[in-house]
Amino acid sequence: MTMKKTLFLFLITLSTCLMAQRVKVISGDYNFLKGEKFLKVVFKFEGVTFAKKKITEDQYIAERMEDIEKTDGKEEAEKWKKDWEYSKDKTFQDKFLASWNKNTKIEASTNFEKTKYTLIVEPTWIFQGWFAGIMNDPALLNTRMSFVETDNPSHVLMVVEGIKATGDNVIGIPNNNDRIAECYAKTSKMLALKVDHYVNKK
């Protein structure tokens, strides 16, 4: 395959991914956020499936560690597992919050105590993608994002679905967990821009 054809196929794939990613309101609307300045965010990681086979997280971890151990040894596999747990608990969340706060005037944090509303972010499906130099496949992320009353979480005001948010920077990201972190950032940006548009429109 020629370099020109390879680049063409890459651009077509990238274009398809960009068109597919979006946020979709499942129930409710954005109106309740008008006038709000602060938003608490809670991240959950339960019941998510991985890859095109839609395997569980335990299966995903086992398969990744087995692959890494075969090529780089058990020590590297354990390092990856630690990085995975750190990414879930820290990097993914930081990426989401940073992107949100950059793209809307409503400040979001996991540390807020007194907010009227809370955003619950739950991934439902993750595809880690792959990297091989000029040829790569970005990570993909589907999410369920629920806005609830902080003092009454059973009162759900809006549910939004994040669909196929891409984790890439055009040239590709070698680390799987970093690609997924970019998916969180992209999901957050898409939702924050929607919030900013509806809440601050004239």
SS (H, E, C) 59-127: HHHHHHHHHHHHHHCHHHHHHHHHHHHHHHHHHHHHHHHHHHHHHCCCEEECCCCCCCEEEEEEEEEEE
Alpha-carbon gap, residue 98 to 96, rounded angstroms: 6
Residue 66 domain-assigned (yes or no): no
Residue 97 domain-assigned (yes or no): yes
**181 vs 2: which has the higher pLDDT:** 181
pLDDT (average), residues 164-187: 88
Q: What pTM value is reported for the model?
A: 0.88
pLDDT for 16 beyond 50 = no
Domain that holds residue 96: 3-56+88-200
Residue 72 domain-assigned (yes or no): no
Residue 117 domain-assigned (yes or no): yes
**165 vs 174: which has the higher pLDDT:** 165
| Length of the chain measured in residues | 202
pLDDT tier, 106 (very low <50, low <70, confident <90, very high otherwise): very high
pLDDT (average), residues 43-63: 96
- 192 neighbors 99 (Cβ within 8 angstroms): yes
pLDDT for 105 beyond 80 = yes
pLDDT for 9 beyond 60 = no
pLDDT tier, 107 (very low <50, low <70, confident <90, very high otherwise): very high
Quote the pLDDT of residue 30: 95
Residue 115 domain-assigned (yes or no): yes
Number of domains observed in the structure of the chain: 1
Residue 136 domain-assigned (yes or no): yes
Quote the pLDDT of residue 173: 80
pLDDT for 98 beyond 60 = yes
Residue 77 domain-assigned (yes or no): no
Looking at residue 130, which CATH number applies to its domain? Answer: 3.30.160
| Among the listed residues 155, 160, 119, 124, the one whose alpha carbon sits nearest the alpha carbon of residue 141 | 124
Determine the residue type at 84.
Answer: W
Least confident of 8-17, 64-73, 180-189: 8-17
Mean of the per-residue pLDDT values for the chain? 89
Alpha-carbon gap, residue 22 to 190, rounded angstroms: 7
Residue 70 domain-assigned (yes or no): no
pLDDT for 29 beyond 90 = yes
Alpha-carbon gap, residue 171 to 17, rounded angstroms: 14
